[in-house]
Chain A
Amino acid sequence: MSDTSTGAASEGWGWLPGRLRPRAVESPGSGRTRLIETTLLILVAVLLSVATINDVVRQTHVNHRLIADLRTWREYTGHRYHNLSIEQELFGRGSGREVVCGNTSPGAPKARTQLCLAIWGSVVGGRRTVHGGWYLPATVEDVRADRYGCFGPASAGLCTR
Chain B
Amino acid sequence: MSVAAQSERVLDRSRSEWLTPALVSLLALALLAATVEIVLDGAVGHSPLIPKSPQIAGWLQGIGERLGYRVFLIAILVSAGAYAGLIALARRSRERVVVSKRAALLLIGALHLVVFAGPILLSTDVFSYIAYARMGVEHGINPYTHGPLAIAADPVYQYVGHDWRHVATAYGPLYTLLSYPLAPLGLKGALWAMKLEALLASAGTLALVWRCARARGLDPVWAILVLGANPLYVIYGLGGAHNDLIMLLAMMAAVSLTLLAPQSRGRDAGAAAIVVAGALIKATVAALLPFMVLARRSLAPLVGALAALIAGALIGYAAFGVHGIDVVAALNRDAAFVSTDSFATEIAHLFGKPGVFPIDHDLLKAALVAIVVHLMWRTWRGYDWVAASGWTLLAISVTSTWLLAWYILWPLPLAVISRDRRLLVATLVVQALFIAHQISPLLAPVQ
Residues of A whose CB lies within 8 Å of any CB of B are 6, 9, 13, 22-27, 30, 33, 37-38, 41, 44-45, 47-56, 58-60, 62-64, 66-67, 70, 82, 86, 93-94
Q: How many Å lie between the Cα of A30 and that of B382 in the bound state?
A: 10
Contacts of B445 in A (CB 8 A): 63, 67
Taking A24-B382, A60-B444 as known contacts, 10 extra A-B pairs with beta carbons closer than 8 A to each other, sorted by chain A number, are A6-B382, A26-B378, A47-B347, A52-B343, A52-B433, A55-B346, A56-B440, A60-B440, A93-B354, A94-B354
- Mark out the residues of chain B between 116 and 143 whose CB falls within 8 Å of any chain A CB in the assembled complex: none
Which residue of chain B has the shortest Cβ distance to A66 in the bound complex?
Answer: B446
**Does any Cβ of A come within 8 Å of B437's Cβ?**
yes
Alpha-carbon separation in the docked complex, A69 to B57 (Å): 36
Complex CA distance for A55 and B294, rounded to whole angstroms: 40
Contact of B440 among A6, A23, A26, A59 (CB under 8 A): A59
Given A58-B349, A67-B446, A70-B446, A52 and B382 contact (CB-CB distance below 8 Å)? no
Q: Most chain-A CB neighbours within 10 Å: which of B381, B382, B437?
A: B381
Known A-B contacts A52-B436, A60-B440, A64-B444; the reply to A45 vs B426 at CB < 8 A is yes
Instruction: Kindly list chain B residues whose C-beta atoms are within 8 Å of the C-beta of A86.
Output: 446
User: Which residues in A have their C-beta under 8 angstroms from that of B383?
Assistant: 26, 30
Interface residues on B, range: 20 to 34
User: Can you give 10 contacting A-B residue pairs, CB < 8 Å?
Assistant: A22-B381, A23-B382, A48-B346, A48-B433, A51-B346, A52-B437, A55-B345, A55-B346, A56-B439, A58-B349
Q: Which residues of B contact A67 (CB under 8 A)?
A: 444-447
Contacts of A13 in B (CB 8 A): 297
Q: Which residues of the partner chain A approach B422 to less than 8 Å between Cβ atoms?
A: 37-38, 41
| B380 interfacial by beta-carbon distance below 8 Å | yes
A92 CB → nearest B CB, Å? 9
Check if B380 sits within 8 Å of A63, measured CB to CB: no
Digitize B128-166: 1 where CB-to-A-CB distance is under 8 Å, 0 elsewhere.
000000000000000000000000000000000000000
Which residues of B lie under 8 Å from residue A26 when comparing CB positions? 378, 381-383
What residues of chain B have their CB less than 8 Å away from a CB belonging to chain A?
294, 297, 343, 345-347, 349-350, 354, 378, 380-383, 398, 422, 426, 429-430, 433, 436-437, 439-441, 443-447
Main secondary structure of the interface of B (DSSP, over half): helix
CB atoms of B354 and A54 under 8 A apart: no
Residues of B within 8 A of A9 (CB): 297, 382
Given contacts A22-B297, A41-B422, A67-B446, A56 and B436 within 8 Å (CB-CB): yes
A9-B297, A30-B381 known; A54+B444 contact, CB < 8 A: no
Residues of B within 8 A of A6 (CB): 382
CB neighbours (8 Å) of A51 from chain B are: 343, 346-347, 349-350
In the complex, chain A residues whose CB is within 8 Å of the CB of B439 = 56
CB distance from B396 to the nearest CB of A (A): 14
Find out whether the CB atom of B446 lies under 8 angstroms from the CB atom of A63: yes
* Cα(A1)–Cα(B445), bound, Å: 60
The CB with the most chain B CB atoms within 10 A, among A22, A52, A70, A93, is that of A52
> A27 to nearest B CB, angstroms?
7
In the bound complex, do residue A54 and residue B350 qualify as a contact, i.e. CB atoms below 8 Å apart? yes
Residues of B within 8 A of A47 (CB): 347
Complex-state Cα separation, A41 to B343, whole angstroms: 15
Q: How far is the CA of A82 from the CA of B350 in the complex (A)?
A: 33
Residues A49 and B444 in contact in the complex (CB < 8 Å), given A9-B382, A22-B380, A25-B382:
no
Q: If the complex has contacts A22-B297, A55-B349, are A63 and B444 also in contact, measured as CB distance less than 8 A?
A: yes
Instruction: Name B346's contact: one of A30, A37, A52 (CB within 8 Å).
Output: A52
The complex places the Cα of A27 from the Cα of B378 at a distance, in Å, of 11
Closest to B430 in A: A48
Residues in B with CB closer than 8 Å to A64 are 444
